[in-house]
């Protein structure tokens, strides 16, 4: 394990599309989504810890979740749990971590990954990241992991790679230069992307050296870079908290894609199939869950499903639940709320959450 290997785990999201199971007080990264006995953030930490020493892993989160992370990951030093005073999207989050890491180790290579994604092929993930670290240690490059699409998905952004393959390991991965990033497409466009063979799902997982990403911030989003650089001497000191409060009170809410990746000319993609899902909604969980012959999935042995097809049922453990006559539904029963929703309408869940909050208060969301 290389001492120059570092990681930033982004763990501040609230996962509102996973309501009512995921709430502001208990978002999905802190839940055992797959019934493995480990939460998503615990799984994320364990796979990254195969590549990066524990002391080199930073977790950036919202102030609400510091104690939860400390409880779920007691092996992480408390100084490595970094709190954002407000949500400002992924670019400020990554800048925060990169400035800290660069002060500790100017030769650092950094993996950036969300805390709430599923990766089923963990050995291959380790291989991919190790290859990525090797590449970014020897090239001033911004590397992103692209997922080989197995269907025309309209819920993900896409990355187009040039047709020239720079390097590959057949049946595992290949690397190319990024031609363009594309926003979430409509279905016809998604079909074109998949048919082309050189478009990949954008997983939001990145690998780069500290030097390369800070240079990119300075070049492509100089205002954000300046706001952090003004406080450079405060990082890893007693003044860091005050500096971050000031930076976040002024910095823009902007994603790393908009801030850097879509502008830079040194962006590369390593494409692969690591069994990835961002678990962005209940349908994504249904897709990777074990189903019966009718396509129904349930999270426990106290659930009975009759005369139903393509339906996901999630109920509290210990609660007998019977579902009859549903096709293409999501049924989620939690302690304070029950959701029954057609899968085709689950894009409305955020709206449902807002309505519940307005009518019944924040305790339910």
* CATH number of the CATH domain containing 167: 3.90.550.10
List the structure tokens of 147: 């997922």
* Number of domains present in the structure of the chain: 2
The residue segments making up the domain with residue 229 are 5-277
Q: How many helices (H) and strands (E) does the chain have?
A: 11, 18
Say yes or no: 326 and 203 in one domain: no
Res 163: pLDDT? 84
Q: Give the integer Cα–Cα distance in Å for 119 and 99.
A: 28
> Which of 277, 292, 307 represents a domain boundary (last residue)?
277
Say yes or no: 52 and 24 in one domain: yes
Say yes or no: 257 and 336 in one domain: no
Say yes or no: 269 and 286 in one domain: no
In DSSP terms, which residues pair with 143 in a beta bridge? 207, 268
Cβ atoms of residues 286 and 117 within 8 Å: no
Pairing state of beta strands 267-272 and 142-147? parallel
Helix (H, G, I), strand (E, B) or coil at 25: coil
> Which of 231, 262, 277 represents a domain boundary (last residue)?
277
Q: State the DSSP code for 137.
A: H
Model pLDDT for residues 153-193, shown as the tens digit of each residue: 998 999 999 988 888 899 899 999 999 999 999 999 999 99
Say yes or no: 39 and 180 in one domain: yes
Phi, psi (5° rounding) for residue 66? -55, -50
Say yes or no: 82 and 172 in one domain: yes
Res 15: pLDDT? 79
Q: Give the integer Cα–Cα distance in Å for 293 and 310.
A: 10
Helix (H, G, I), strand (E, B) or coil at 308: coil
Say yes or no: 232 and 290 in one domain: no
Q: Give the integer Cα–Cα distance in Å for 80 and 239.
A: 15
Say yes or no: 312 and 331 in one domain: yes
Q: State the DSSP code for 64.
A: G
Q: Can you tell me the mean pLDDT for 315-319?
A: 83
Q: Give the integer Cα–Cα distance in Å for 88 and 350.
A: 19
Rounded alpha-carbon distances, angstroms, from residue 332 to 18, 135, 316, 323: 9, 44, 9, 11
Say yes or no: 160 and 17 in one domain: yes
Q: Give the integer Cα–Cα distance in Å for 353 and 347.
A: 11
List the structure tokens of 365: 């969301």
First to last CA, the chain: 41
Say yes or no: 245 and 302 in one domain: no
Q: If pLDDT is split at 50, 70 and 90, which confidence band does 275 have?
A: very high
Say yes or no: 304 and 270 in one domain: no
pLDDT mean across residues, the chain? 94
Rounded alpha-carbon distances, angstroms, from residue 133 to 88, 115, 129, 278, 279: 27, 20, 6, 22, 26
Res 35: pLDDT? 83
Cβ atoms of residues 203 and 117 within 8 Å: yes
Examine the pLDDT at 1 and tell me if it is beyond 70. Answer: no
Phi, psi (5° rounding) for residue 356? -60, -45
Cβ atoms of residues 319 and 302 within 8 Å: yes
Model pLDDT for residues 205-264, shown as the tens digit of each residue: 999 999 999 999 999 999 999 999 999 999 999 999 999 999 999 999 999 999 999 999
Q: Can you tell me the mean pLDDT for 296-314?
A: 93
Model pLDDT for residues 28-59, shown as the tens digit of each residue: 999 998 888 999 999 999 999 999 999 999 99
Of 171, 158, 257, 141, the residue nearest 198 (C-alpha):
158
> Which of 277, 298, 329 represents a domain boundary (last residue)?
277
The four Cα atoms 211, 225, 94, 63 give a dihedral, to 10 degrees, of 140
Helix ranges, the chain (H)? 40-48, 66-72, 90-104, 122-138, 187-196, 210-220, 222-229, 240-250, 256, 282-288, 349-360
Entry pTM: 0.93
Say yes or no: 42 and 86 in one domain: yes
């Amino acid at each position: 394990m290389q001492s120059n290997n570092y990681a930033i785990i982004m763990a501040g999201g609230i996962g509102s599309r996973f309501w009512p199971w995921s709430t502001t007080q208990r978002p999905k990264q802190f839940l055992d989504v797959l019934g493995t006995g480990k939460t998503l953030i615990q799984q994320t930490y364990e796979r990254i810890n195969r590549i990066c020493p524990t002391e080199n892993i930073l977790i950036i989160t919202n102030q609400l979740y510091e104690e939860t992370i400390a409880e779920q990951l007691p092996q992480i030093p408390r100084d490595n749990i970094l709190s954002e005073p407000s949500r400002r999207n992924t670019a400020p989050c990554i800048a925060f971590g990169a400035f800290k890491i660069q002060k500790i180790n100017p030769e650092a290579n950094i993996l950036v990954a969300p805390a709430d994604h599923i990766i089923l092929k963990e050995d291959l993930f380790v291989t991919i990241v190790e290859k990525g670290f090797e590449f970014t240690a020897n090239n001033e490059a911004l590397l992103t992991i692209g997922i080989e699409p197995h269907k025309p998905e309209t819920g993900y952004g896409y990355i187009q790679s040039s047709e020239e393959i720079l390097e590959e390991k057949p049946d595992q991965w290949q690397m190319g230069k990024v031609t363009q990033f594309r926003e979430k497409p409509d279905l016809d466009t998604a079909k074109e992307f998949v048919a082309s063979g050189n478009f990949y799902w954008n997983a939001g997982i990145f690998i780069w050296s500290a030097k390369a990403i800070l240079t990119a911030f300075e070049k492509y989003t100089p205002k954000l870079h300046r706001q952090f650089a003004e406080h450079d001497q405060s990082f890893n000191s007693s003044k860091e908290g005050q500096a971050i409060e000031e930076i976040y009170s002024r910095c823009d809410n902007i994603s790393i894609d908009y801030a850097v990746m879509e502008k830079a000319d040194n962006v590369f993609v390593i494409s692969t199939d690591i069994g990835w899902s961002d678990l962005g909604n209940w349908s994504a969980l249904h897709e990777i869950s074990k189903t019966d012959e009718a396509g129904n999935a349930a999270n426990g042995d106290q659930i009975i499903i009759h005369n139903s097809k393509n339906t996901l049922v999630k109920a509290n453990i210990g609660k007998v639940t019977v579902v009859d006559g549903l096709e293409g539904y999501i049924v989620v029963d939690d302690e304070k709320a029950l959701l029954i929703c057609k899968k085709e309408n689950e894009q409305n869940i955020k709206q449902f959450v807002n309505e519940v909050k307005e009518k019944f208060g924040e305790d339910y969301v």
